[in-house]
Each structure stands twice: as C-alpha cells, then as structure tokens.
Chains A and B, each alone.
Chain A
Amino acid sequence: MKKGSGLSVYAILYLIFLYAPILILPVFAFNDSQVVAFPLKGFTTQWFGEMWADANLRSALFRSLVIALCTASLATILGLFAARASVRYNFPGKTPAMGLIMLPMVLPDIVIAMALLIVLLSLSVPLSMLTIIMGHVLLCMPFAVAILTSAFQSLDKSLEEAALDLGETRAATFRLIILPLVMPGIIASFLICFTISIDEFVLANFLGSGKPVLSVYIFGQFRFPAKVPSMLALGTILVLFSIILLGFAEYMRRRGIAKAGGKDSGGFL
C-alpha cells in the first residue's frame, strides 16, 4: 500500500458522507412516486411542474429574492466601509469594533433570532420583510467584511497616492483605481450574502410576519407528504443555483487578487 492511501480512503468516505444526502434530492425529485423511498419507480418531471404551479410558493420565492437582494446590497455596502476602515485607518477601539462585526459568524443563529425578536417586540416594531432584512444583514456582515478586507488588503496604498500624485482628486482616485481593483471582491461579497440570505431559516422564521419566505415555506410543506416530492424538486434547483453562485463568487474573488497582482490568502473555496 502506498503511503497516505489510508488518508485518501478516509477523505473519499468523508466526502460521500457529506454529499450523498444532497444527491438523494435530485434522485427523488425525478422519481415517479409520492413516497420518498427506494426502489425508484420511474422518471418524471411532474414534481417540477407541480412546484411551479404553486402560487404560494411563487410569492414566497419572490419575498425571498427581495430580501436576499436587499440584504446582499446593504451588507456589501456596509462591509465596504468597514473593510476599508479596518485596512486603511487606525482608530481607537478598532479591534473591538471589528470583533463585534465578526461576532455573528460564531454566535448561534437561534440566539441572535431570539434576542432580535425580544428587542423588536419590546420596541413594538411590526415584523415584516424589513425586520428579516435587518437580521440577515447582521448575519451576512462578517462574510462581506472578510471578503472585502481581503480585497482591500491586496491593494497597495501607493496606488492611491500615485493617482493623487498624477493630479486626480480623491473621488476620481476611488472611481478609477480603488473601485475597479476591489470590484471582484464586491461582486463576490454580494453573491455570497445573497446565497446566505436566500436559504437562511432561523431568523426568517422568527422575524417574519405571517407571510413565509421560501425556506420557511419549504419547512411548512414538509408536513404534507404529498408536497414532499415537489419540495425536493425545488431543493434540486436551489442546490444547483447555490453552486453556480458560489463558484462565480469565488472566481471573481480570485480574479480580483490576480488582477491586483497579489497573493491568494484565504477565501471560501
């Protein structure tokens, strides 16, 4: 036996354990039976059609998309400020401030959700899509800041000075030099925040009004066995969509670093 082959067997088993359940999703989404069990009955696309015909699902999807778009935009813009400040400036309280921004990454979602719910209710703020967006921005900020910090770090400070030195204003320097060089990071941050928001369940469930978003709607539908296959069809589409988005985000991040002539350090893929 070659050295290290034990480790690769372990790695393969690990990956199967991790991803086989997800592969079940498309298998049963195309299975011609309401019962999710082997043996498979036959091939059908019926569940995809049924899924799309569900008006409640469509409006839940629409709400989720709006929330994800707003969350991704807000978190990325706020992350831009935070990342820029953390890379370029030194100010009192910087370390605790950055620590607090990154904290939601390690805090249990359920704790954040409960705390926010209590605060919102005691301030008698009505629960709505807006409150979900607030929660999601909090959740996404650490990711946005991490990605954008890496983008700003690979940016040489003398590039800005050079542009100023060559007669440009600060605003033009930002537009002509900084923005193009961190743009891949901005896109990556936007896409990752979007993905996080769209499949987030806990906060969306706690902070939402009676109208469910997609993840909450899916959870609700699992109570009805007849609905399960079409939910699997939806899940299949979501997995595909997530993989494409994340892949694109990582591609943009790497391209950004290569463009700025820097070395890759970290990232999510």
Chain B
Amino acid sequence: MTSADQPTMIEFKDVHKYYGDYHALRGINGTIKAGEFFSLLGPSGCGKTTLLRTIAGFEDISSGVIMIDGKDMARVAANTRPTNMVFQSYAIFPHMSVAENVGFGLRKDPRSKDEKAAAVAEALEMVGLKGYGKRAAHALSGGQRQRVALARALILKPKVLLLDEPLSALDKKMREHMQVELIKLQRQVGITFILVTHDQEEALVMSDRIAVMFEGEIAQLADPETLYRRPNSKKVADFIGTMNFIPATVLSEAGDKVEVDAKGLGHVTIDAAMAPPAKGESPVVGLRPETLTLLYDDQKAAERETEGVIDEVIYFGDMTYYDVYLGGTDVEVRLSMRNVPGRPVLDVGTKVRVAWSPSALVLFR
C-alpha cells in the first residue's frame, strides 16, 4: 500500500535509552505512518527489541519523546497504551483455554457475555483457528500458539500491533507461510504493524518501510526497494542481501554526475542519486549479484561488458552463483545466473564476458 499520504501514527524524537552505562538507543528519530507495515531490522543487540518495548511501555526511555497517535506516551503505562504485542515466546497463558486467552483483554469490556464470545469466535476465525476455542492453550503447536497470540492482541483493535520476532521459532516452511498470512491479515485489519526481525529477507518480503538499526541508531529508514537498490552505507548494503564491493577512485564530480574509475570495470558515470553522502571512507562501488550477467556465445551486452575468469561455481538448483575475477585484476565479484534450459553451468577457469549496467552501481565513499 502507499502510505506516503497517511497520517503519522508513531513519532520518535531523539529517543535515548541507557541501561546503566550501556547506551542502548542513541537518538532515534523517525515516524511510522498509520496503517503501515513497518519493520525494525538489525543484528541482535542493535536495540530493535528495546525500541519496540519502549513503544509498548515495558521500557522507560532515558530522554526524548515517543508520540502515539499524537499523544506523548511519557506518563502512559503499558496497560493503557493503544498498542498490543505478540511476544517472541507468544506468552500464551498456559492455564487457560484458547478462548479464555483470546478473550483475556475483554475482561473489562462492557459488552454482554454472548457478544464477547462472538468477538472471540470472530477473532479465532480471522487467524484460521475456527472452533479451537475450547482447546487447552498449552497443548497447541508453535504455529497455533502464534495465531492465538495474534487473535488475543487483535481482538482489542489496537492502533498499533507490535510483533517481537514472531516467526523466529517456526520452521522455514511455516515461517514463509505465516509471512504471507501476516501481510494479508495486516491488509485486512488495516492496523499499523511494527515487526522486529533480524531476518533481512523477512523484512523485505513483509514491510512497507524498514528501519535498519545498528548499535542503537537507525542507519537507514526506507521502503524495501530503496533499501535494496540504494543503501545509504556500505554497512546497510552488506546487511541486506549480497553486494559486491569494488575499489574505485573518484575522478570528477559535476552537477548530478560522479565520474569514477572502478577497478576491473573502468570509467563509469554514476548518477548522484546512487551516491549517498560521503562518510570519508575509501571509495567503493557496490553491485548486486543479479545485476551482473554472464554472456554466452555471441550474446552482446546491452550496456557495458568486462572480461573475467571463473574462480568458483556454487550450484543452487534454480540458480548458479559464480565468483569471477574481473579483467585480469584481483577483484572478485559474485554473480547469479538463473539455470534455464540451454544454459550450461560453466566450469572453474572458464574465460567469460560479464555484462553490467552503470545504473545499477552504488558509490560508497
């Protein structure tokens, strides 16, 4: 969905969090829009879960402001915030039935018993657990527990649903299945979802926007495509997917064009949009494996081509990864080729031509 014109749901203003001497959140700024599927992505210890827990109200912040739906949350306790959480362990109450778990938040709801029971049944149906109400909660499988946790949180119609690595305990098949279900569910209920994950693929698949976090700071906040194609730093580029880094020298900079000499690729003109602000590092250009193509027989490159020698072949079934030395240099790039009929898997040592496009290059410096 396009969320650019949506009103702001959550706003962080210079949020800091200390645990004793440990600086867990180092000046978080940013907004999350209403109805958005937003992910906090980062390696473990980057502060993503801490940030989520400050939204829920389980952690106080040391300084700064968190606004939810226009209200400062500084003096609002966890149990009165318009957020609900799906915990990593699901936190299903083991001494209650599925229906009692799902209906737990309705205890103070003024509706009649029958109306509440209907709401519980509806919530269970929404997560695909119709008729499970009478089952004992501790006898459920991992996937079912997660659904109960979702139903229990969503029945209260929160403004924001917080998900703390909800898929990490599931096996791969189940995880992929639940990713799609969560996206569908989010579209159906229209509630703002905030997902914490360390799995970049999961974040890319599910989110409208992603905040990539390192060491208590947001390194980049963008939609998945921007994050993947135009990461604003080498670190983000490295964390999300695979990227080849090729040493380069900046020759000239004029208007919105940057002229570089990339080792093994030669002179390239890069659009300023693909050159995020300089950080004072030695310049490299980044190229995703799938933007490089091996040329077979008399195929011609659409834009540029470079010669190389295959150093390593990694066969994946549907894909083959090749590590290729570029143009007689020690620069090695990884590229991926789809294994289609009539396209043989090449051997190590084969001399190849590699096609690439200057527009796919990102310049980090």
Q: With A and B bound together, what is the CA distance between A167 and B83 in angstroms?
A: 10
Q: Which A residues fall within an 8 A CB radius of B?
A: 156, 158-159, 161-169, 177, 180-181, 259-261
B301: Cβ under 8 A from any A Cβ: no
Contact A159 B107 (CB under 8 A): no
Contact B91 A161 (CB under 8 A): yes
- Shortest CB–CB separation between residue B320 and chain A, in angstroms? 44
Contact A162 B91 (CB under 8 A): yes
Contact B94 A167 (CB under 8 A): no
Contact A165 B94 (CB under 8 A): no
Residue among A167, A169, A177, A259 having the largest count of chain B Cβ atoms under 10 Å: A167
Q: With A and B bound together, what is the CA distance between A138 and B124 in angstroms?
A: 50
Contact A162 B93 (CB under 8 A): yes
Q: With A and B bound together, what is the CA distance between A181 and B152 in angstroms?
A: 19
Contact A156 B138 (CB under 8 A): no
Q: With A and B bound together, what is the CA distance between A167 and B95 in angstroms?
A: 19
Q: Which residue of A lies closest to B107 (CB)?
A: A168
Residues in B with CB closer than 8 Å to A259 are 94-95, 138
Residues in A with CB closer than 8 Å to B152 are 162, 166
Residues in B with CB closer than 8 Å to A162 are 85, 87, 91, 93, 152
B104: Cβ under 8 A from any A Cβ: yes
Q: With A and B bound together, what is the CA distance between A100 and B105 in angstroms?
A: 41
Q: With A and B bound together, what is the CA distance between A235 and B235 in angstroms?
A: 76
Q: Which residue of B lies closest to A165 (CB)?
A: B85
- Categorize the interface residue count of chain B: 20 to 34
- Shortest CB–CB separation between residue A68 and chain B, in angstroms? 29
Contact A161 B138 (CB under 8 A): no
Q: With A and B bound together, what is the CA distance between A167 and B85 in angstroms?
A: 11
B80: Cβ under 8 A from any A Cβ: yes
Residues in A with CB closer than 8 Å to B107 are 167-168
Residues in B with CB closer than 8 Å to A159 are 91, 93
Residues in A with CB closer than 8 Å to B89 are 156, 158
A-B contact number at CB 8 A: 61
Contact A169 B94 (CB under 8 A): no
Contact A164 B138 (CB under 8 A): no
Q: Given A162-B87, A166-B104, A259-B94, 13 other A-B contacts at CB below 8 A?
A: A158-B89, A161-B58, A162-B91, A162-B93, A163-B104, A164-B78, A165-B85, A166-B105, A166-B156, A167-B79, A167-B156, A169-B79, A180-B95
Contact B156 A161 (CB under 8 A): no
Q: Mark B150-166, 1 if CB is under 8 A from A, else 0.
A: 00110010000000000
B56: Cβ under 8 A from any A Cβ: yes
Q: With A and B bound together, what is the CA distance between A260 and B137 in angstroms?
A: 11
Q: With A and B bound together, what is the CA distance between A180 and B152 in angstroms?
A: 20
11 contacts between A and B (CB under 8 A): A158-B87, A161-B85, A162-B85, A162-B87, A162-B91, A164-B77, A165-B79, A166-B84, A259-B94, A259-B138, A260-B95
Residues in B with CB closer than 8 Å to A165 are 56, 58, 78-79, 83-85, 153
- Shortest CB–CB separation between residue A253 and chain B, in angstroms? 15
B88: Cβ under 8 A from any A Cβ: yes
Q: With A and B bound together, what is the CA distance between A259 and B79 in angstroms?
A: 26
B108: Cβ under 8 A from any A Cβ: yes
Contact B95 A158 (CB under 8 A): no
Residue among A161, A162, A167, A177 having the largest count of chain B Cβ atoms under 10 Å: A162
Q: Mark B181-203, 1 if CB is under 8 A from A, else 0.
A: 00000000000000000000000
Q: With A and B bound together, what is the CA distance between A180 and B138 in angstroms?
A: 15
Residues in A with CB closer than 8 Å to B85 are 161-162, 165
Residues in A with CB closer than 8 Å to B156 are 166-167
Residues in A with CB closer than 8 Å to B56 are 161, 165
Q: Which residue of B lies closest to A163 (CB)?
A: B104
Contact B94 A261 (CB under 8 A): yes
Q: Which residue of B lies closest to A162 (CB)?
A: B91
Residues in B with CB closer than 8 Å to A161 are 56, 58, 78, 85, 87, 91
- Shortest CB–CB separation between residue A199 and chain B, in angstroms? 34
Q: Taking A181-B94, A261-B138 as contacts, is the C-beta distance between A167 and B87 under 8 angstroms?
A: no
- Shortest CB–CB separation between residue B128 and chain A, in angstroms? 21
Q: With A and B bound together, what is the CA distance between A162 and B95 in angstroms?
A: 14
- Shortest CB–CB separation between residue B142 and chain A, in angstroms? 12
Interface residues of B in 79-128 (CB under 8 A from A): 79-80, 83-85, 87-89, 91, 93-95, 104-105, 107-108
5 tightest CB-CB pairs across the interface, nearest first? Answer: A166-B105, A162-B91, A158-B91, A158-B87, A261-B94
Q: With A and B bound together, what is the CA distance between A180 and B137 in angstroms?
A: 15
- Shortest CB–CB separation between residue B240 and chain A, in angstroms? 29
Contact A164 B91 (CB under 8 A): no
- Shortest CB–CB separation between residue B97 and chain A, in angstroms? 13
Residues in B with CB closer than 8 Å to A163 are 93, 104
Interface residues of B in 19-60 (CB under 8 A from A): 56, 58
Contact A164 B79 (CB under 8 A): yes
Q: Which residue of A lies closest to B136 (CB)?
A: A259
- Shortest CB–CB separation between residue A152 and chain B, in angstroms? 14
- Shortest CB–CB separation between residue A163 and chain B, in angstroms? 7
Q: Which residue of A lies closest to B152 (CB)?
A: A166
- Shortest CB–CB separation between residue A174 and chain B, in angstroms? 13
Residues in B with CB closer than 8 Å to A168 are 79, 104, 107
Residues in A with CB closer than 8 Å to B108 are 167
A167's contact among B88, B105, B138, by CB below 8 Å, is which? B105
- Shortest CB–CB separation between residue A245 and chain B, in angstroms? 24
Q: Which residue of B lies closest to A170 (CB)?
A: B79
Residues in A with CB closer than 8 Å to B153 are 165-166
- Shortest CB–CB separation between residue A178 and chain B, in angstroms? 11
Q: Which residue of B lies closest to A155 (CB)?
A: B94
Residue among A164, A165, A168, A177 having the largest count of chain B Cβ atoms under 10 Å: A165
Q: With A and B bound together, what is the CA distance between A140 and B301 in angstroms?
A: 84
- Shortest CB–CB separation between residue B68 and chain A, in angstroms? 14
- Shortest CB–CB separation between residue A89 and chain B, in angstroms? 15
